[in-house]
Every structure is written in C-alpha cells, then in structure tokens.
C-alpha cells in the first residue's frame, strides 16, 4: 500500500476517533460550561455506557442489530440516571463548589470503576456490531460500521446543537450558564437545570461509548483515554464553548489517528498534551473561549 492510501486510511480512522471524541467532549464541556463543575468521572460514564451496552446486547436474543439498537437507547438513559443520582446525592450537597466537586468526582470515578470491576469483571468483552458490510476501496476494505459511527455522531451533535439553540430547555440552560443568580430571579429552578445538565453530559459520553464498543470492546478501565482526550479538547477549544470543543475534537481526533498510524499512539498523546500546554501559556481562555 502506497503513501496516499495509507494516509486515507489514517484520516478515516482519525475521523472516527474525532466523531466519538466530539460526543464525549461536548458532554464534558456542557457540564463545565453550565455548572462550572470539572467532572473527573466523565470517562467513567463513558465506560459505564459501554458496560451497560454489553449487558443489554447479551440479554437480547436474535440478530445483533436488535441488541445494539436497544443498547443505544437504554445505556445512555441508565447512565444519565446514575449521573442525576450522583448530582442529587453528592454535587448538590456540596453546593456545586468548584473545588469540592473535583474531589467528589474523583471519588465517583473510583466508585464507578470498582463497581464495574465487581459486576462486569476484569476481562474485556466485545459487543457485536449491528452490521458487518465493508466498503471496498481499490487499496483496502473499510468497515461500513465505522462510517455509520461518524454519521450517527454528526446527527447527535446536530440534535444537541438544535436543543441548545432552539428549545426552551436549551435557553434555560444557557441563561443559567451566564448568571445563575439572575436565572433564579427569573423563575429558573437552577437545581433542576444542573441535574439535567449533568445527566445530559453523562448521557452523551454513554452514547459515544455505545457507538465505539463494537470496534473496541467494553472494559472497566476504558474510561481513562476518553477523559484525558476530552480534557485536552475542552481546554484547547475554550472552556464552555461548544463550537471550540467541536473544532478541537476534529483537530485532536484527526491528529491522533494520523500520528498513531504513522508513528505511535504514545507520540500522539505527547503532542496533544504539549498542545494543551502551549494553549494554556499563550491563550489560556482557549481558541474559542471568551476571556475569563
């Protein structure tokens, strides 16, 4: 295979990574933007999505597509429910204090991870893809399912965008993000907005995980990379800026795909982390963030 086709393959892989990363990072960005909570457990919500997807797929007999489709609906709902519960049990009681919630979500990270180890076990398990057809290029065959992942991610991101800009609930979330005290003075139940935002953020991570689990397997330690990459993306894009998050996800996802394929995944992570350091030094508000 020549350089051209190899690059094409790398770009395809990068696009898939970018799509999944964008979904995950938008969830983290929403939670930080609206609630000012740095959710260190975000990667565990991702992991939980994959694990729940495995349980659902395993429980549904018949064609793999049935189980997968059900998982795509059930897993995000379950994970959103867990997040809403965590919000009510923990974050709300800390009054959403920015520092206290960091410590609390670190605790949540371990609780979720160890629960997964206990109930799901240490072995990685696959979820069967809903379909297996491949797209044939002159140089290599490529998974049609991976292209479906990209399209699904785009569709979900467009839906989130429409939700935030066109609906009442989205308006309420944006108003709360700007000024929670004034939002209260206009009848907005900020506690409910926060619970909903935390659930939505976690649900997005879970959707991303259900989409990737047929190509990567569910594992109780799988939350680490998505967390790290989401943080990188959110910092580069600008805290709380959805547009910045999307652009940064594309850059980091594609870069990660290409560099991983031509050099090594470790080098890709090193470069991404360096990029974060550069952004923090020269443009601390991120590429698209408003000045603090």
Using CB under 8 A, list all residues that contact other proteins.
168, 171-172, 174-175, 178-179, 181-190, 290
Of 59 and 191, which CB lies nearer to other proteins in the complex structure? 191
Task: Report the nearest approach of other proteins to the CB of residue 248 (Å).
Answer: 20
CB of 173 to other proteins, least distance (A): 11
In the bound state with other proteins, the residue whose beta carbon lies nearer, of 176 and 260, is 176
Residue at token pair 């659902």: 56
- Residues paired with 134 in a beta bridge: 143
CB of 168 closer than 8 Å to CB of 102 = no
Only one residue has tokens 């926060």, namely 194
Nearer to other proteins, 1 or 185 (CB): 185
Q: Compute the distance between CA of residue 215 and CA of residue 134 in angstroms, rounded to an integer.
A: 13
Task: Report the residue number, 123 or 181, with the smaller CB distance to other proteins.
Answer: 181
Answer whether 236's CB lies under 8 Å from 276's CB. yes
CB distance 130 to 145 below 8 Å: yes
Minimum CB distance to other proteins, residue 143 (Å): 40
Shortest distance in whole angstroms from residue 187 CB to other proteins = 3
Q: Nearer to other proteins by C-beta: 97 or 179?
A: 179
Which residues lie below 8 Å from residue 288, measured CB to CB, with a gap of 6+? 237, 238, 241, 243, 244, 247
Shortest approach of other proteins to residue 171 CB, angstroms? 6
Angle, CA 259 vertex, CA 20 and CA 138 arms, to 5°: 80
């Amino acid at each position: 295979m020549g350089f051209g086709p190899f690059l094409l393959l790398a770009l395809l892989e990068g696009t898939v990574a970018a799509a999944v990363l964008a979904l995950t990072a938008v969830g983290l960005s929403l939670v930080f933007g609206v609630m000012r909570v740095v959710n260190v457990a975000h990667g565990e919500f991702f992991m939980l999505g994959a694990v729940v997807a495995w349980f659902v797929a395993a429980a549904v007999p018949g064609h793999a597509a049935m189980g997968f489709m059900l998982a795509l609906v059930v897993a995000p709902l379950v994970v959103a429910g867990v997040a809403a519960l965590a919000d009510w049990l923990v974050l709300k009681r800390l009054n959403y204090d920015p520092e206290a919630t960091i410590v609390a979500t670190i605790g949540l990270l371990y609780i979720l991870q160890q629960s997964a180890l206990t109930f799901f076990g240490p072995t990685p398990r696959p979820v069967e893809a809903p379909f297996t057809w491949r797209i044939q290029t002159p140089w290599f065959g490529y998974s049609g399912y991976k292209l479906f992942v990209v399209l699904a991610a785009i569709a979900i991101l467009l839906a989130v965008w429409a939700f935030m800009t066109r609906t009442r609930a989205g308006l309420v979330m944006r108003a709360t993000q700007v000024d929670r005290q004034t939002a209260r003075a206009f009848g907005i139940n900020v506690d409910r907005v926060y619970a909903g935002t935390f659930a939505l953020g976690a649900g997005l991570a879970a959707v991303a995980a259900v989409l990737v689990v047929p190509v990567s397997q569910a594992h109780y330690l799988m939350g680490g990379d998505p967390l790290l990459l989401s943080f990188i993306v959110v910092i580069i894009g600008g805290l709380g800026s959805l547009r910045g998050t999307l652009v940064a996800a594309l850059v980091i996802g594609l870069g990660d795909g290409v560099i991983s394929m031509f050099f090594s995944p470790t080098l890709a992570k090193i470069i991404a982390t360096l990029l974060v350091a550069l952004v923090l030094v020269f443009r601390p508000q991120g590429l698209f963030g408003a000045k603090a």
